[in-house]
Amino acid sequence: MRTRVGIVGGGPAGLLLSHLLHGRGIESVVLEARSRKDLESEIRAGVLEHGTAELLIETGVGDRMQREGAVHHGVKLQFDGRRERIDLEELTGKTITLYGQHEVVKDLVGARLDAGGEILFEAKGIEPLDLESGEPKVRFVRDGEEQELRCDFVVGTDGFHGVTRKALPEGARAEYERRYPFGWFGILVEGPPSTEELIYALHDRGFALVSTRSPQIQRLYFQCDPGDEAGSWSDDRIWTEMHARLDTDDGWTVNEGKIIQKNVVQMRSFVCEPMRHGRLFLAGDAAHIVPPTGAKGMNLAVADVRVLSRGLAGFYESGDTNGLDRYSATCLRRVWKASRFSWWMTSMLHRFDGDNAFQYRMQVAELDYVAGSRAASTSLAENYVGLPMAPELEASAEERTAQGAS
Treating both helix axes as pointing N-terminal to C-terminal, what angle do 322-349 and 297-318 enclose, rounded to 10 degrees?
170
The active-site residue out of 12, 193, 291, 292 is: 292
The active-site residue out of 19, 50, 72, 203 is: 72
State the Rg of the chain over Cα: 22
Q: Which of 175, 151, 52 is nearest to 103 (CA)?
A: 52
72 is known as an active-site residue: yes
Treating both helix axes as pointing N-terminal to C-terminal, what angle do 374-385 and 357-372 enclose, rounded to 10 degrees?
90
Q: What's the CA gap between 121 and 42, in Å, rounded? A: 15
296 is known as an active-site residue: yes
The continuous run of DSSP H or E covering 42 comes out as: none
CA 263 centroid distance within chain: 18
- 143 CB-near residues (< 8 Å, 6+ apart): 122
- Sign of the Cα pseudo-torsion (156, 159, 164, 165, in order): positive
The active-site residue out of 99, 180, 221, 384 is: 384
The active-site residue out of 22, 203, 296, 350 is: 296
369 is known as an active-site residue: no
The active-site residue out of 180, 200, 221, 327 is: 200
Q: What's the CA gap between 177 and 207, in Å, rounded? A: 22
The burial class, CB within 10 Å (0-12 / 13-18 / 19+), for 344 is middle
DSSP tag of 41: H
CB atoms within 10 A of CB 136: 21
Local structure of 75: helix, strand or coil: strand
For 219-274, the DSSP string reads EEEEEE-TT--GGGS-HHHHHHHHHHHH--TTS--PPP-EEEEEEEE--EEEEEE-
Phi, psi torsion values for 79, nearest 5 degrees: -165, 155
- 152 CB-near residues (< 8 Å, 6+ apart): 4, 5, 134, 135, 136, 279
Annotated catalytic sites, by residue? 72, 200, 292, 296, 384
